[in-house]
Structure 1
Amino acid sequence: MEFRHLGRSGLIVSQLAFGNWLTRSSPGGEETEIACVRAALDAGITTFDTADVYADAHAEESLGRALKGERREGLEILTKVFAPVGPGRNDMGLSRKHIRESIANSLRRLGTDHVDVYQAHRFDLSTPLEETMEALADVVHSGKAHYIGVSEWTADQIRQGHSLARELKIPLVSNQPQYSALWRVPEAEVIPACEELGVGQIVWSPLAQGVLTGKYLPGGTWPEGSRATDANDGSAELAAWLTDDVLSRVRQLGPIAAEGGLTAAQLSLAWVLQNPNVCAAVLGASRPEQITDNVKAVGIRLEGEVMDRIDSVLGPVVNRDPAVTVESSPPSPGWRLA
């Protein structure tokens, strides 16, 4: 494993992080997650990402149990707040009330007295940003989080939040956007703003929900037990990628990867980690061996000619539209995290 500073902070994270959004909901449940967490630890992964809303709060609980007995100072635990966690009007968002209640519940479920990074899961259009940042400052100043981060905020929202964070003397150090060789939405605006501010990226879906592994072939027949065949395992996220055009182009990455002694998944992870503003890529897994295989992407340096070939193959099907990040801000209290 190799490590990077998170933005311009002093916090060091593993270049691959284990995320349990889908793992906790996959067949096998907590038993599978514990095996995957063990594989992650054995591979040198020290950074673990979750959220209060994942698996109806059970993800935090099971991650806490899986990490029980590990030296807390040797881990970086990240969780998030925003999405609905109950039926009440105040059971979502970034109000002072919800943030204070949510951090207490997250720490209880995780079995720890602090998290390393507490992340605002989306931007809250219905709460004054000043209220949100002051509440997050309370979390940091009380010792319940060392740093704060955001997820899927626009460049302007990150700038505003970062400015308030500096006034409140708290470190806003990270953003968690979707980012992969197929999804380059953050490149136009978000990543340049973060580079300027010293904010690092902890990216999710670096394998485009498994599409970049090459396991989905053109023709519409999906591997049994894959996410595309399981309505409870994130299949809705795959819909845009499961077209013959996209899948035919992804297949062309196989020979490029093989030339470097890599799998398509390892090539795609190495592509993400090539970006100097990416501090960590969040990996999910339904089997421990997926973790073991994917960590081999760490330390791989792709030559410019290889990067150009990847661009040439995927270019026509890449999403680069920064407006998509704006659309991720929930428009109403009825919004639910996908």
Structure 2
Amino acid sequence: MEYRKLGSTGMYVSEITYGNWITHGSQVDADSAKSCVRAALDSGITTFDTADSYAFGRAESVLGKSLKGVKRESYELITKIYWPTGEGKNDRGLSRKHIFESAHASLDRLQTDHLDVLICHRYDHETPLEETLSAFDDLIRQGKAHYIGVSEWNAKEIASALAIQDAKGYTRFVTNQAQYSALYRVIEKEVVPLSEKEGIGQIVFSPLCQGVLTGKYLPGKKPPVNSRANDKNSLVGGAGFISGWLREDVLTAVQKLKPISSDLGITMAQLALAWVLNNSNVSSAIMGATTAKQVKENAKGAGIKLSADVVSEMNKILSNLAETDPKKNESPNPRA
């Protein structure tokens, strides 16, 4: 495992982050979740990502139990606030009330007294931005969070927040959690240049484009029975969200990456992770897994250095298919 600084901070994160969206508390049982977390630690992964809304809080609870007994200083814990956590009008968004209530609930579920990174899970158009930033700054000053960031904010929104933080003397955002892969490159045009200028590091999710870049979805063939493409019951992350990538032209192009991975002696999943990590503004790539074996295999995507020729060839194969429009900043995975 390799490690990188989180943006301009002094804290290191593992190049691969273990995330438990749509797995812990829903897809896998507690014992399997614990084995995945321990496999992550054994693989050198020290960074763990979750959110208060994942499985309605159960994901945080499972992660907290799975990390129990592990030296707290040895790992970095990330969680997020915004999406609904209850039926009440105030059980959502980025108001001061919800931020404080949600943060404290997350601390309880995760069985810790502080979060290494606390993230605004989306931009809240109904709450004054200064109210949100003030509340996050207070949590920093209380020692309940060490660093703060955003998820899926566009460049204008990030810049506006930084301006207020600088003017008020608030702690600045240091990370952006965004969807990014060789097929989904929306952040490259505006968000990454701003982030490089402002010392913000990307922690990216869906680096495998929901599994499409692993090559398991074949052109002209039905999706594997147990794959995400056949999960029609999931409210998030299921068939409805991957369907747009299961086009024949996309799947045919992805198969052209197989010879590249074979020549390098790595899996296609590891190749996709290495491509994402080739971007110097990326601090870490989030991967999920339902088995310890998957965790260990994907963790090997760290530390792979792709040559300029390999990156160029991959871009040539996928460039006409990749989504790059900044206007589509909002992730097609609404709660990732």
The two structures share one fold, judged by TM-score above 0.5: yes
Please state whether the residue corresponding to 2:24 is helix, strand or coil: helix
Q: Could you tell me which residue of structure 2 aligns to residue 139 of structure 1?
A: 139
Q: Could you tell me which residue of structure 1 aligns to residue 324 of structure 2?
A: 320
Please state whether the residue corresponding to 1:79 is helix, strand or coil: strand
Contact 2:25 2:58 (8 Å CA) reproduced: no
Q: Distance in 1 between matches of 2:272 and 2:257?
A: 9
Structure 2 counterpart of 1:150, one-letter code: V
Say whether residues 1:190 and 2:199 are aligned partners.
no
Q: Could you tell me which residue of structure 2 aligns to residue 332 of structure 1?
A: none
Please state whether the residue corresponding to 1:117 is helix, strand or coil: strand
Q: Distance in 2 between matches of 1:151 and 1:30?
A: 27
- In structure 1, list runs of 5 or more residues that go unmatched: 330-335
Q: Cα distance, 1:224 vs. partner?
A: 1.9
Structure 2 counterpart of 1:194, one-letter code: S
Structure 1 counterpart of 2:269, one-letter code: A
Aligned counterparts, 1:61-210, within 5 A: 61-166=61-166, 167-210=168-211
User: 1:87-120 CA distances to partner (integer Å, 9 max, x unpaired)?
Assistant: 1111110011110111010101100011000000
Deviates further, 33-42 or 226-235:
226-235
Q: Cα distance, 1:220 vs. partner?
A: 4.4
What RMSD over aligned residues (CA atoms) do the two structures have, in Å? Answer: 1.6
Q: Cα distance, 1:337 vs. partner?
A: 3.2
Quick one: structure 1 residues 39 and 257, their matched pair in 2 at CA, closer, same or farther if it must change by over 3 Å?
Answer: same
Q: Could you tell me which residue of structure 2 aligns to residue 308 of structure 1?
A: 312
Quick one: structure 1 residues 208 and 25, their matched pair in 2 at CA, closer, same or farther if it must change by over 3 Å?
Answer: farther
Aligned match for 2:257, one of 253, 259, 266:
253
Deviates further, 179-188 or 230-239:
230-239
Contact 1:26 1:286 (8 Å CA) reproduced: no
Q: Distance in 1 between matches of 2:300 and 2:201?
A: 22
Q: Percent identity?
A: 51
Q: Cα distance, 1:26 vs. partner?
A: 5.4
Aligned residue pair count: 332
Q: Could you tell me which residue of structure 1 aligns to residue 36 of structure 2?
A: 36
Q: Could you tell me which residue of structure 2 aligns to residue 225 of structure 1?
A: 226
Q: Distance in 1 between matches of 2:26 and 2:269?
A: 20
User: 1:67-95 CA distances to partner (integer Å, 9 max, x unpaired)?
Assistant: 00000011100000000111111111001
Q: Distance in 2 between matches of 1:77 and 1:328?
A: 23
User: 1:278-337 CA distances to partner (integer Å, 9 max, x unpaired)?
Assistant: 000001001111111112221111111111111111112100000011x459xxxxxx73
Q: Distance in 2 between matches of 1:309 and 1:50?
A: 34
Q: Could you tell me which residue of structure 2 aligns to residue 283 of structure 1?
A: 287
Contact 1:22 1:285 (8 Å CA) reproduced: no
Q: Cα distance, 1:171 vs. partner?
A: 3.5
Q: Distance in 2 between matches of 1:324 and 1:290?
A: 31
Please state whether the residue corresponding to 2:124 is helix, strand or coil: coil
Contact 2:26 2:55 (8 Å CA) reproduced: no
Q: Cα distance, 1:275 vs. partner?
A: 0.3
Q: Distance in 1 between matches of 2:92 and 2:26?
A: 25
Q: Cα distance, 1:30 vs. partner?
A: 2.2
Q: Distance in 2 between matches of 1:34 and 1:161?
A: 37
Q: Distance in 2 between matches of 1:24 and 1:227?
A: 15
Q: Distance in 1 between matches of 2:14 and 2:98?
A: 30
Please state whether the residue corresponding to 2:69 is helix, strand or coil: coil
Q: Could you tell me which residue of structure 1 aligns to residue 237 of structure 2?
A: 234
Deviates further, 178-187 or 155-164:
155-164
Quick one: structure 1 residues 25 and 242, their matched pair in 2 at CA, closer, same or farther if it must change by over 3 Å?
Answer: farther
Deviates further, 215-224 or 114-123:
215-224
Aligned match for 2:335, one of 300, 319, 337:
337
